[in-house]
Structure 1
Amino acid sequence: MDENINQITGYFETVPLWPFVLFGFLGLVAVFVEILNRKRRANAIDNFRYTIETELELLYPVHKGWPRNINTYLCSRLPEMQQNFEVLRVFIPQDRLLSYNTDWNNFCDFCRNITDEKCAVAEQPPASDHVAATKQSTNKEPDPKETFHRLVSDLLKHTNL
């Protein structure tokens, strides 16, 4: 056993130490980069959540009512949300990136296609007569409020990684 220890000690006495110092330095740099990336990711998540909570405060998480010209209201908020979406996209794992992009595209499509008329139709009470009820049930579109809440929840699920 002493022979092995003497051999190892002799090796470290004859070998230069700069490779070990270099690898140690690279290890420290890697740890600092990881810490920095975790902080940047946390900030991206916080900014994305904050943007959704402030820009859509009338509609999410508690629905207080549709503003007039809902299409204009939502589309005017998309650029700010798009910026935070792009920043957060960098930190989404590759296997979840397709789902993230799909959820964002669905949200954008909803914002561009929602109209005050669709909201008004969804808020109307159900018809009392049978003919109108069957006609309404065949042309029934999903409630925009429920769709909106589902889309926003789908976006926010990506911040819980």
Structure 2
Amino acid sequence: MEEYLDQISRYFETVPLWPFFLLGVVGLVAIAVEIVNRKRREQAIDSFRYTIETELASMYPRHIRWPENVNQYLCARLPEMQHNFEVLRIFIPQDQLLSYNTAWNKYCDFCRNITDEICAASEQPANIQSGNETTATADENDPKKVFHKLVSDLLAFTNI
């Protein structure tokens, strides 16, 4: 065993040390880049969550009030949310990117297509048909529940 240690020590005496220092520097740079990327990812997640929590405070997570001119209200908030969506997209894993983009597109479509008339129609009591079918259809067509689900789907990507 002592022969092996002597052989290894003689090897390091004759070999130049600059490759080892270079490898160490590259390792330190890689660790620094990883730390910076993690902080950027956390900041992107925090910005995305903060935007949703502030811009949609009266509508999500607890529904307090549905604003007048809901279409204009939601569409006015889309540009800032779009910016934060784009920043966060960089940090979404490739295998989840399609579902992330799909969730965003569904949210944008909802914001552009919702009207006060649709909201008012959903609040009217539906004709009583068979009990289970009416409840399922009412939940699918209730804009408040659809909105809540769309926002929850978007926020699910911040838990990665």
Report the TM-score when normalising by structure 2: 0.92
CA deviations over 1:92-149 (Å, ceiling 9, x no partner): 000110010000000000000000000000011234xx6xx68xx6x96610000000
Matched, 1:29 2:56: no
Write the distance in 1 (CA, Å) between the matches of 2:84 and 2:124. Answer: 36
- Per the alignment, residue 40 of structure 1 pairs with 40
Mapping of residues 42-61 of structure 1, within 5 Å: 42-61=42-61
1:65 and 1:5 mapped to 2: Cα distance? 76
Match of 1:85 in 2: 85
What is the aligned partner in structure 1 of residue 94 from structure 2?
Answer: 94
Residue identity in the other structure for 1:37: N
Give the letter aligned to residue 156 of structure 2: K
The residue type paired with residue 104 of structure 2 is W
Equivalences, count = 154
Question: What is the Cα deviation at residue 4 of structure 1?
Answer: 1.1
Q: Distance in 2 between matches of 1:20 and 1:126?
A: 75
Cα separation, 2, equivalents of 1:40 and 1:48: 12
Alpha-carbon distance, 1:64 to partner:
1.3
Is the aligned partner of 1:147 residue 2:146? Answer: yes
What residue in structure 2 maps to residue 160 of structure 1? Answer: 159
* TM-score, scaled relative to structure 1: 0.91
